[in-house]
Amino acid sequence: METVLITGASSGIGCELAKVYAKNNYDLVLVGRRIERLKQLKSEIKKSNPKIQVKVIEIDLSKSKSPEDLFLLLKKENIKIDILINNAGMGVYGNFLELSKEEMKKIEKMLNLNMIAIVKLTKIFLNKMKTHKKGAILNVASTAAFQPGGPLMATYYASKSFVLSFSEGIRYELKDTGIKVSALCPGPTITEFEKMSEIKNWRDKIKVMSAKKVAKIAFRDFKKGKKIIVPGYLNKFSILASKIFPRELLLKIIKKIQQNK
């Protein structure tokens, strides 16, 4: 039985990915900062599938040493990771010029989590996968990665562009190794099902997907070895539009969207 490590598993897409993999009889290592939520998720998963192993680990991956600490903990307990899903991430909103010192600290934390932690975890677990000549890594980026930039969320958009570019590059490097790397690029996502009922306007409802639906599509396409996974036709269209429309127009549209949040 293969073991999947999922970061950012306490909520949203990470949580739903854990449920999908559990349903398909994978053992799980669930990583996040909110240990009570992870324990609750473990309990829920074990009730529906008591045969699989589920380990929960509380750790803040935005801290420099955390990726290595996580690896050493798993090594100590002799847990072999077959599939790594780098899902943990965060965003910071605001006009970059006007960000306070405290907000800039959040930016630094975000960049550490969205980029540096992914690079470190990927390198650490790739080394082990190389030994077995088998493995898979899914890095969660965003449709934002395809846009020219994100006014009012410029650093977040840039971080997701990094994740996509990094994933494509190492995938090509690893093409003859038996190890596959994919990037998941969801668009706006409802991370808790009940929130869907709070959206009254049908035009707004069709703009977003549930985390559950994103996870199902991600599982299916990742298993097929798809390089870039974009769930939903509207998200695919937004990427196509980014290739067709003038960049200045796209920046204006994105800023307008961000202002209306």
- Catalytically active residues are 156
Q: Which residue has the tokens 């306007």?
A: 201
**26 neighbors 1 (Cβ within 8 angstroms):** yes
Task: Specify burial of residue 55 (Cβ count, 10 A radius: 0-12, 13-18, 19+).
Answer: middle
Task: Specify burial of residue 61 (Cβ count, 10 A radius: 0-12, 13-18, 19+).
Answer: buried
Kindly report the number of other CB atoms within 10 A of residue 174's CB atom: 17
**Amino acid at the residue 144:** A
Helix (H) or strand (E) holding 205: helix 202-205
**119 neighbors 159 (Cβ within 8 angstroms):** no
